[in-house]
Amino acid sequence: MQKIFAANWKMHKTRAEAGQCSASLANALGAGTTASGALVLVFAPFTCIDVVAGAFAEVPFLACGGQDCYPAAEGAFTGEISPTMLADVGATWVLTGHSERRHVLGEDDALVARKTTFALEQGLNVMLCIGETLEERENGQLCDVLERQLTSVFDAMPDILRGNALAGRFAVAYEPVWAIGTGKVAGQAEVLDAHATVRTLLQKLVGATAVDLPILYGGSVKPTNAAGLMSLDNVDGLLVGGASLDAQSFLQIIGA
Ligand code: PEP
C-alpha cells in the first residue's frame, strides 16, 4: 500500500510562510530522492490552501487538504466552509474528526460522520481522525471508543461509497488524544495494538477491502521516532502536527 505522510499545520502560518514552506517541500520532494512512492499531504489553514496547492502543482504525489469542512453545499452557516469551496481553492483532501475539533470545538460522532460522508460524496478524499482520551484508555475503553467512532461513520456511509469506492479516497488516522501536542508518543506496543484493532474493525465494517485502507499514526511524531513507528505492522503512514511546521523536520520524517 502507498505510504502517506501528512502534515497538519493547524492554526499556523501566514500565506507568505506557507508559500516558503510548501516551496521547500516541493523542491526537495520533486527532486525525487526522499519520498520514493509515498503520498505527501499538507492540511493547511483555509487561507493558505491555494498557495500550497500552487506550490505542489508540478509534483504529482504532493497534495493539499483542508483541516475541516461543513456538511452542506452552501447556506446560512456563518464561519463554516463547504467541501466545494475547499476544492475551489485547490484542496483534494480534508481532515475530519481531528481531536481538537472533537475536544476543543465540541464535535460529536454524528457531526463527524456527516462531515466525512458529505465530503466524500462531494469528491474530496477524507482522512478521518479517531482516538481515545487518557481517561478512556485508563478505563480500558480503547476498543469501545475506536469502534464507536468508526461505526458512526460507516453507519452513515451511503451505498455509493461502499465496496471499492473508498480505495485511494479514504484514510484513518489513529491519534491518541493524550499524545497530540504533548511530546508523549504512544509506545510501540500501544501503537501495534491500536492499529490492529482499527484494521479488525475496518474488516468488520467494509469487509475484504479494509486491507486497502491506510491507517496512519499521529501524536508527537518527530524525526527521531518516525522510522520506528513506520516499521510497525498496520502503520501505513504518519500524521504530523508540530514537527511538520518546519520543512526540514517534516522532510526528515518522510525520509526516515
Ligand atoms: C496532529 O495535530 O494531528 C498531531 C498529531 O499533532 P502533534 O504531532 O503536534 O502531536
pLDDT in tens, the chain (256 residues): 899 999 999 999 999 999 999 999 999 998 776 667 899 999 999 999 999 999 999 999 999 999 999 999 999 999 999 999 999 999 999 999 999 999 999 999 999 999 999 999 999 999 999 999 999 999 999 999 999 999 999 999 998 888 788 989 999 999 999 988 888 878 999 999 999 999 999 999 999 999 999 999 999 999 999 999 999 999 999 999 999 999 999 999 999 8
Alpha-carbon torsion, ordered 93, 11, 142, 140, to 10 deg: 180
Predicted structure pTM score: 0.96
**What is the predicted pLDDT for the residue at 223?**
97
Active site residue 147: no
Active-site annotation holder among 98, 100, 107, 147: 98
| Distinct helix (H) and strand (E) counts, the chain | 10, 8
Taking only Cα atoms into account, the Rg of the chain, rounded to an integer number of angstroms, comes to 17
Burial 149-185 (b: 16+ CB within 10 A, else e): bbebbbebbeeebeeebbeebbbbbbbbbbbbeeeeb
The helix or strand, by DSSP H or E, that contains position 15, with its residue range, turns out to be helix 15-30
DSSP state of 28: H
Integer Cα distance of 145 and 132 in angstroms: 6
Q: Which atom of ligand 1 lies closest to the CA of 129? A: 3
Please check whether residue 214 is in contact with residue 171, taking contact to mean a CB–CB distance below 8 angstroms.
yes
In terms of Cβ atoms closer than 10 Å to its own Cβ (0-12, 13-18, 19+), residue 200 is middle
C-alpha cell at position 223: 524525526
CA 85 → CA 26, 64, 69, 89, distances in Å? Answer: 24, 13, 9, 7
E strands present in the chain: 4-8, 39-43, 62-66, 93-96, 125-130, 170-174, 215-218, 237-240
Q: Which of 191, 220, 222, 253 to mutate to test the pocket of ligand 1 (most atoms within 8 A of CB)?
A: 220
Distance CA 22, CA 247 (A): 8
CA–CA separation, 140 and 212 (whole Å) = 29
CA–centroid distance, residue 97 to ligand 1 (Å): 13
Could you count the other beta carbons within 10 Å of the beta carbon of residue 51?
25
Ligand 1 probe mutation, 95, 129, 180, most atoms within 8 A of CB: 180
CB-CB contact of 152 with 197 (8 Å): no
Q: Give the C-alpha separation, 51 to 215, whole Å.
A: 28
User: Which pairing describes strands 237-240 and 215-218: parallel, antiparallel, or unpaired?
Assistant: parallel
In one letter, which amino acid is 150? L
Amino acid 88: pLDDT? 98
pLDDT value for 216: 98
Report pLDDT for 53: 98
- Give residue 156's pLDDT: 95
